[in-house]
Amino acid sequence: MTNVERNVPAGVVAIAAAALVIAAIALPLQARAALLGTAFLFGWSQLPSL
Amino acid sequence: MWLASTVAYSVGGILASAFIGASIAGFGAVAMPSQFDETFFLPILLGVCAAVLLRELRLIDLPLLQWRRQTSGLWAKVLPAPVAAGLWGIDLGLVFTTWLTFAGPWLLAAIAFLSRDVPFAGTLFVTYWFGRVLTVWLAPLVIRSGGDLLLFMEVLSVRRPLFSRVHVSGAMWAAVVLLVMLAGGEPIDGRAR
């Protein structure tokens, strides 16, 4: 397994998890702002074209 | 050249995403009467969220409403690279003018429309763009050669189910937030009650 094959899936999951943690911190402060976590995850999961 | 093009791509997308989010919210503000009961909006958004979730979990067969076009590859041939990248950013930042991979952007559009809050909706779509453009900024961490680029694109294609799960987690998170808002009486337009 190459670096790319190993690191890309791990990076995708790590950044998604970090976004969810930040959104969870925002939830009790202003619930509506926590919806930005959803927006980020939707953008992050849109398969990119370089 | 990579940095200039990536910055142009990012800025183009930020401007276009802010525009599309703000426009949808502005249209919502015009179309929806201000005295409309905000508590009515959250169940509607939960319904849209459920439809997105069920679609992406392949539990219902819901066609994806989208403009079936790609951004123009010709721009790279006739324009300097940063200009072409900026135009791609604008084109992709408009979200609904090119192919969608998943249904989530329609939930964002519903949130923006019913929020009728131009700054919030602009921020919502710019955040979507940040997620989308981050791949381009991080790609050099794993791409060291032309061969890596081909492998990178192949991994993205093969790992589509992983991206689908990330998308589903985003929709599930939206459902949690909307339920919290419904329980706490926080309206989607952000005004204090």
Chain A residues closer than 8 Å to B102 by CB: 42, 45-46
Tokens found for residue B162:
């992983």
The predicted structure's pLDDT at residue B191: 67
Cβ–Cβ under 8 Å, residues B1 and B83: no
In this predicted structure, what is the pLDDT of residue B192?
A: 58
CB contact under 8 A, B163 and A47: yes
DSSP characters over B65-124 = --------TTHHHHS-HHHHHHHHHHHHHTSTTS--SSSHHHHHHHHHHHH--HHHHHHH
pLDDT surpasses 80 at B134:
yes
CB contact under 8 A, B124 and A5: no
Residue with tokens 């955040």: B127
CB contact (8 A) between residue A41 and residue B186: no
Q: Is the pLDDT of residue B165 over 90?
A: yes
pLDDT for residue B34 is more than 90: no
Contact at CB, A42 and B167, closer than 8 angstroms: yes
Which one of A35, A40, A49 has the shortest CB-CB distance to B131? A40
Residue B1: DSSP 8-state = -
| Residue of B14, B125, B166, B168 to mutate, interface with A, max A Cβ within 10 Å | B166
Determine the distance in angstroms separating the CA of B24 from the nearest CA of chain A, rounded to an integer. Answer: 15
Is residue A50 predicted with pLDDT exceeding 50? no
User: Number of A:B CB contacts under 8 A?
Assistant: 149
Where b means 16+ CB within 10 Å and e means fewer, B104-134 reads bbbbbbbbbbbbbbbebbbbbbbbbbbbbbb
Q: Is A12 on the interface with B (CB under 8 A)?
A: yes
pLDDT, average across residues B57-61 = 93
Kindly report the average pLDDT of chain A as a whole number: 89
Contacts of B76 in chain A (CB under 8 A): none
Is pLDDT of B188 > 90?
no
Q: Quote the CA–CA distance of B10 and B139 in Å, as a whole number.
A: 14
**Contact: A38, B170; criterion CB under 8 Å:** yes
User: What are the pLDDT digits (tens) for B64-119?
Assistant: 888 888 888 888 889 999 999 999 999 999 999 998 999 999 999 999 999 999 99
Determine if residue B63 is left, alpha or beta; phi over 0 gives left, psi from -120 to 50 gives alpha, anything else beta.
Answer: beta
Q: Is A1 on the interface with B (CB under 8 A)?
A: no
B120 band by pLDDT with thresholds 50, 70 and 90:
very high
pLDDT at A3: 78
Nearest to A41 among B133, B159, B170 (CB): B170
Query: Cβ B131–A7 below 8 Å, yes or no?
Result: no
Mean pLDDT of all residues belonging to chain B? 91
- Kindly indicate the confidence band of residue B158, based on its pLDDT and cuts at 50, 70 and 90: confident
The predicted model gives B174-189 an average pLDDT of 88
Nearest CA in chain B to A42: B167
Output the pTM of the full model: 0.94
